Copies of this chain bind each other. A is one copy, B any other.
C-alpha cells in the first residue's frame, strides 16, 4: 500500500485517505446461478460457492480489495434479493455499502449505480475518488500480484482522464472471453477459437471486466455515451425511484455502452492466476484427481469409470462404467451432463423454467 499510504492524512486521530485520492472498490455481484447449477442457483449464485479456495468467491474478492481500499471502502452492487445473503457473507462491511438493484439490467446500470453509491454529488479537485469495479465470482490465485497490478491501475487512473482496465494475460486462446488490444485499448467481442489464436499472437489480453477511473471520469463517460444512465451515476435514488428508473432501462453491458466508445482507455496487464471459474471444468483444474482421472467431492463410489466430476451434496453417488460426465447432486436436484457440454448449462436451466 506504499503509494496510497503516502497520501493518507490523519483526521481526528484516525487514519483516513484524502477523498480526492481515495480508492473505493465496488464489487459487482449479480449472477443467475446457471453455470454451476444445481450447486449454484438463483438464490445462491456462483459468488457464494465455497468450492474454490475454501472461502466463497465474493469473500475472497472482498479480502483482496479491502487490503487496498480499506474495509469501509468496499461496496457491493448486487440484486435486491441477494442483499441479505451478501451482508451475511461480508458482515464486516457497513450495511449501507451493500445495495440491491431492483432488477437485472446488465453491468452498465450496475456500474452507474455503483458510482453514485460511492461518490454522490459533484466532484471537485479535492473530492474525486478513484473507483474500481470488479466481478464477485472470479478467482485470483496470486492475490499479492493482483494487488500490485491494481495499485498500478489506480495510480494511472488518478493522474489521467482514462478509464483503466486490467487485461489478463491469456493462458490459451479461449473463445469464452472478450479481448482487449492493449496498444489502443480497443475492446473486441468474444471471438471464434481461430480468431482467438490470432489475438494471442497479437498480444491481446482477456477482458476480465475490471474498470478503474475517477468518479468524474465515469460520470462524464455516462453523460456522453449512455445519457440514459447518467442520472443513476450522479444521484442515489430512493429504492422506489430506483425501481421506476430501472424499469425503463435497456439491458446493456458497461463494455458495450461505454468502454467500446470511450476514447481514453488505458490497459494495465495482469498476470496473477486469474480464472473466471466459468464452468464445471474448473473442478478439473482445482481439485485432485483419483487414479482414473475422476474428481470426487462428497460420498462417491466409482467403479470402472474415468474422467468424471462427481459432486455429492446429498445422497451418495455411484458411477458404473461411465466416462467424462459431470454428476452433481443436491437435496433438490440431480445433474448428469457430458463434460464437453457444461458450457451449455444455461440451455438446461432455461428449459426448466
Q: Which positions in A face B, CB cutoff 8 Å?
A: 38, 301, 303-304, 312, 314-322, 325, 327, 329-338, 340-342, 344-345, 347-348, 351-352
Contact = CB atoms under 8 A, between A and B. Distances in A.
B337 A321 contact: yes
Nearest 8 Cβ contacts at the A-B interface: A321-B341, A320-B337, A321-B338, A320-B348, A317-B334, A303-B348, A315-B333, A319-B336
Contact of A319 (B331, B337, B345): B337
Contact of A336 (B318, B333, B348, B352): B318
A79 to B, nearest CB: 24
A352 B316 CA distance: 10
Contacts of A322: 325, 336-338
Given A315-B331, A322-B336, 17 more contacts: A38-B318, A304-B341, A304-B344, A314-B315, A315-B329, A315-B333, A316-B332, A316-B334, A316-B352, A318-B337, A318-B348, A319-B337, A320-B336, A320-B341, A320-B347, A320-B348, A334-B334
A344 B315 contact: no
A335 B316 CA distance: 9
A312 B334 contact: yes
A352 B315 CA distance: 14
How many chain copies does the complex carry?
2
Contacts of A345: 320
A296 B150 CA distance: 52
A335 B318 contact: yes
Contact of A321 (B319, B329, B344): B344
B336 A317 contact: yes
Nearest to A317: B334
A294 to B, nearest CB: 12
B333 A303 contact: no
A341 B321 CA distance: 6
Q: Which of A304, A315, A332, A352 neighbours the largest number of chain B CB atoms within 10 Å of its CB?
A: A315
A292 to B, nearest CB: 13
Contacts of A38: 318
A325 B315 contact: no
A325 B301 CA distance: 17
Contact of A318 (B314, B318, B333): B333
A332 B348 contact: no
A336 to B, nearest CB: 5
A247 B348 CA distance: 55
Contacts of A342: 320
A348 B304 CA distance: 9
B315 A334 contact: yes
B318 A334 contact: yes
9 contacts: A301-B351, A303-B348, A315-B333, A318-B335, A320-B338, A320-B345, A320-B348, A322-B338, A334-B334
B315 A340 contact: no
Contact of A334 (B321, B329, B347): B329
